[in-house]
Structure 1
C-alpha cells in the first residue's frame, strides 16, 4: 500500500511522530511519503520539531510559505496535486522537487492520504486527493468547537465531509460523526497520538529556569498559551 502523510504546521509534527514510528515497523507492507507542505516554515516551528521528535526528513517540502487562508489553500492544493499526478518535474516554481529523499520512494499517485488535525494543509490536501480518487484518512476526525468563526472549524467540517476512515480521539468525536450520518465502520477510536508523543519524551523533560526564578511550587500554578484571535485580539 502507498500512503502519503501530510504535515504542515507545528501541531501536526507532534501528532505524526508516533504514527511514523509505527509505520517504520511495517515497511514491508506500507510504503509512505512524508510530505511537509511548508505552512509553518520557521525552524523553531518546523525543523526543530523534526529533530527533537525523531521524525525523519520529509520526502518533499511543498514550500507554500505564508499568505492569506485562500492563498495558502490554493498553493497547497496545486502543488500536492502536481505531486500526485507526477507532474512536479514540469513546474517552474522554486520548490525543491528534485529532493534525493523523494527519489527513494514511489512516484505519482498514492492509495491513501493521511491528514491530521485541523490546519489548512489538512483540508487542502484532503480535497486535492479526493478529487483524484485517493482515499482520505483523518486522524482526529470528528472534533468540533461549534464555533464557525474559527478557520480550524471550517477545516474540520470540510475534511470530515470527504473522509473515508476516521481515527478518533474520544467518544464525543465518535458521536459527532454518527450524528453527521457517517457509518460506524468508518470510525476507529484509537486515542490521542499527542499523548503517545508526550509519554515517549517524558524522560527528556527538563525543569525550566523560570521554575526557580518565580519560586513555583508543584500543583500551585497554571501554564497557558494564548494565540487564537478570539483570545488575544480584545483588550481586557
Structure 2
C-alpha cells in the first residue's frame, strides 16, 4: 500500500520540447521528404492546381475564401496536397504565445475542410501537433490526462508515422456548410484556437519534472 501511494506522488519526466530537426510538425506519406512551410509557400502557384483537383464545389469555395482571407490578413501559408488538402500556416501567426511555451518558428497549424461526421454538411478543422513529446508512452498519456478540458477543441494522442512516438494533438472544428465560410467565422476559429492552445501549453509547462 505504501509503494502504491509513493508511485502516485512521484514526479514525472518533463516532456521534451519538439526538435524540428528530428520530428516533423506535419505527417509525411511513405518515404517522401518533408517539405517545409517556406517551400510550400514559395511554390504555392505551382502547387495550387494539384491542391484543388478533384475537390467538391463547396470545398473549392471554402479553400478559395480561406486563401483570400490569409492573404488579406498577411498570414503566410502554404498548400499541401499530399496529406489530404492541408493549408499550412505558422503556429505563431495564430497563437504568438506558442513561442513562449517551448514552441519554435517551425511549428505549424494545419487547416482543412472536410465533410462533418454526420454527413450533413462541411466543417473547417484546425489542428496542431503540440511541441512536446516523449519516447515514454505513459508520459504522453499522463500529459493528456492532466491537460485542461477545452470548451471547443479537443486533445488526443496519435502515433507519428515517421518515428512511431505518440504525438499530442490539438484539434478544433467549426461547421461551415451550410452556411458558407465567412471572415467572421475564421476570426472566431483563430481566436478560439489561440485561447485554447495558450491554456493547454501553460498547463503543459506546469507538468512535473523529475
Taking structure 1 as the reference length, the TM-score comes to: 0.25
Greater RCO, 1 or 2 (C-alpha within 8 Å, sep 6+): 2
- Which structure has greater strand proportion? 2
